[in-house]
C-alpha cells in the first residue's frame, strides 16, 4: 500500500506508548490519523499536534467503538489502516498466597474474563468493524488491496511470566485470530498481521525505573541485543513497513531484541 495523504488510519491507544509512536510514524508520512483513546486530554493534544482527530473510545464498549469509527470516517473518510494497540488487562497468579488471610487464594474468574474482554474480544471488535468498512471501499492498487489491519500481541503470548495467565492468554488468543481472519478477508484484499513486542520503553515500564532502578536495569540487561528496552518509534517503523509491504499477510512478528524470558 502506498502511504500518503490519500490514506486514513485509525490507531487505538494512540495517546501514549506504542500507539502514539505508530500514529506519529503514519502522520509523518502524510497519513490522516484518528486517535482512539480514553485519555481525552492527552489524546486531544496529540491529535492536534499531528493534525489528526481524536475520538474518545472505550474499546470494551461496542457502542463507544462504533461511535469512534463514525467520527473518524466523517473526518477523514474510510480508514485503510487500523493499528490496534489499546488494551485492558489485569494480572495475578492463578493461585497465590494471601498474607492477610494466611491461606492460598485463586485469581477470580471475573478478573480473567475482564482481561479477555479487554484483549481478545476488543481486538476482534476493532478489527471486524474496520474490516467491514474496508470491504465496502474501492481497491487501492492492482493487487486489489483494500486495507491493512495490524494487531498488537506480545512476547508474553509465547513466553508469559508468572502472574500473566490472563494477559498472556489474551494475547495468545490474538495470535490465534490472525491466520483465520486473514483467510476470512483474503478475497476482500484486506491483510491482517500482528506485532509481538518484547519489553518496550512505554509509560508503565518507565515507571519501574522510578520505583526500582536496579530492576529496570535488569530488564535492559535481559535483552540479548541491543541491551536496552525497545523504543516505541521502532514499533512505529515496523507498522509502516507492514502497511507498505503488501506481501506481509497473516504474520506474527516478534519485535523483542531476541529476548526469550525464562520463568521468574
Collapsed DSSP state (helix, strand, coil) of residue 192: strand
Q: Which residue in the list 104, 124, 167, 211 is annotated as catalytic? A: 167
Q: Torsion-angle region of residue 102: left (phi > 0), alpha (psi -120 to 50) or beta?
A: left
Say how far apart CA 220 and CA 259 lie, in whole Å: 10
Q: Torsion-angle region of residue 171: left (phi > 0), alpha (psi -120 to 50) or beta?
A: alpha
What secondary structure letter does DSSP report for 52? -
Say how far apart CA 239 and CA 9 lie, in whole Å: 12
Active site residue 167: yes
Say how far apart CA 170 and CA 156 lie, in whole Å: 10
Nearest 5°: phi and psi at 195? -105, 135
Say how far apart CA 113 and CA 90 lie, in whole Å: 10
DSSP characters over 62-98: HHHHHHHHHHHHHHH-S-SEEEE---------SEEEE
Give the helix ranges, DSSP H, for the chain: 17-28, 40-50, 62-76, 109-116, 122-135, 156-159, 165-185, 203-211, 213-221, 232-244
Q: CB neighbours of 22 closer than 8 A, spacing ≥ 6?
A: 11, 14, 83, 85, 150, 235, 236, 239
Instruction: Just list the catalytic residues.
Output: 167
Amino acid at each position: 500500500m502506498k502511504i500518503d495523504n490519500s490514506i486514513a488510519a485509525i490507531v487505538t491507544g494512540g495517546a501514549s506508548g506504542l500507539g502514539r509512536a505508530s500514529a506519529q510514524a503514519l502522520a509523518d508520512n502524510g497519513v490522516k490519523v484518528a486517535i482512539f483513546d480514553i485519555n481525552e486530554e492527552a489524546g486531544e493534544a496529540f491529535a492536534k499536534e499531528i493534525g489528526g482527530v481524536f475520538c474518545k473510545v472505550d474499546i470494551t464498549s461496542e457502542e463507544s467503538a462504533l461511535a469512534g469509527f463514525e467520527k473518524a470516517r466523517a473526518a477523514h473518510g474510510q480508514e485503510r489502516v487500523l493499528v490496534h494497540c489499546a488494551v485492558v488487562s489485569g494480572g495475578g497468579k492463578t493461585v497465590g498466597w494471601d498474607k492477610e488471610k494466611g491461606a492460598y487464594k485463586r485469581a477470580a474468574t471475573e478478573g480473567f474474563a475482564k482481561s479477555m474482554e479487554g484483549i481478545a474480544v476488543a481486538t476482534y471488535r476493532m478489527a471486524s468493524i474496520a474490516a467491514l468498512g474496508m470491504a465496502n471501499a474501492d481497491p487501492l492498487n492492482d493487487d486489489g488491496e483494500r486495507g491493512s489491519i495490524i494487531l498488537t500481541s506480545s512476547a508474553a503470548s509465547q513466553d508469559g511470566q508468572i502472574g500473566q495467565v490472563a494477559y498472556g492468554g489474551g494475547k495468545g488468543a490474538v495470535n490465534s485470530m490472525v491466520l483465520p481472519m486473514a483467510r476470512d478477508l483474503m478475497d476482500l484484499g484486506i491483510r491482517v498481521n500482528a506485532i509481538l513486542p518484547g519489553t518496550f520503553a512505554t509509560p508503565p515500564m518507565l515507571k519501574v525505573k522510578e520505583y526500582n532502578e536496579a530492576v529496570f536495569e535488569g530488564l535492559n540487561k535481559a535483552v540479548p541485543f541491543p541491551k536496552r528496552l525497545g523504543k516505541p518509534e521502532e514499533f512505529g517503523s515496523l507498522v509502516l513497513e507492514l502497511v507498505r509491504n503488501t506481501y506481509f499477510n497473516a504474520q506474527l512478528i516478534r519485535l523483542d531484541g531476541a529476548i526469550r524470558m525464562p520463568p521468574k
